[in-house]
Structure 1
Amino acid sequence: MFRGKANAPLVVRPPHALAESQFTETCTRCEKCIAVCPTNIIVKGSGGFPEIDFGAGAKECELCNKCVEACQDDALNAANEPVWRWQLTLNEQACLPFQGVACRSCGEYCADSAIRFQPKIGGQFTPELILEACTGCGACIHPCPTNALQIQPAD
């Protein structure tokens, strides 16, 4: 029985990436952005195109723009807005504080205070994402013991 094509996995491109269709048309897959990333979170992804893997390297983006400077085909372009096409998301079903377990790992690693913990009557403090404060660095992702936080392409 034909059930249709499965949805393609969400891919997070490096900072200042063009929109996905333009990015894949413009990027020559030269790997220069991969080579210059000081934290090694830019990896060779599907089709050889660069993508972000917050489980690799030092596990966060330093926001240094070295990848943009190395990109000679303008698939990554500092003039491209928004700067980040990334969005932090939280799966409350996987997040320990929402299950009554004390955990503040993500907030301890967030230098920009984009994750705040709100008191909950009779329960654990629960995280609140302050998306306006989030730089998209991903420092909060690796320390989460349940993988409740993800960086995804922004809508």
Structure 2
Amino acid sequence: MNKRIPSDIKKSYLLWLVAIGAGVFEMAIAVAQTLSSGSEAGFGLMIQVGIRSLIFAALVYVIVKMQRGKRWARIALTVLLGGIGTVSLLVDPIQWLLEGNSLDTAFTGMTVFSSLFGISRFVHIAAVIAAIIFMYRPAANQYFNPIVSHS
């Protein structure tokens, strides 16, 4: 029996896609910044972009499976993007603060690249947190009930 996709799952699905989009945007900013700095990135940069693109594609696959009610996908998104991914997004800012920098100085010397990156990172983290919340609301929990079949 197929069951209608709850609106919380639809919201979670869209928020996960926003998070992936933000990740792609952040990658594009990093590439643009590297290329504009005149550094010789070359082949290594292409490899990094290729690997990240494959990861983003795999994550979109998992997001689609979550929307279709696959419990393993919900768990994978929670652990991979909600846990490991969020920690990886927060490591650099936390490390920067631990090095003795303050939030007051965070805005000094901002460039267009760092401003766009910061805004994207905020959107990225907010989308992940909201996606997880929607993915575990009561209607969503019922949707992932193993008794219900999804196509």
So what's the TM-score if we normalise by structure 2? 0.24
Higher relative contact order (CA 8 A, sep 6+): 2
> Of Structure 1 and Structure 2, which has the larger fraction of its residues in strand?
1
Structure having the larger proportion of residues in helix:
2
TM-score, length of structure 1 as denominator length: 0.23
* Structure with greater Cα Rg: 2
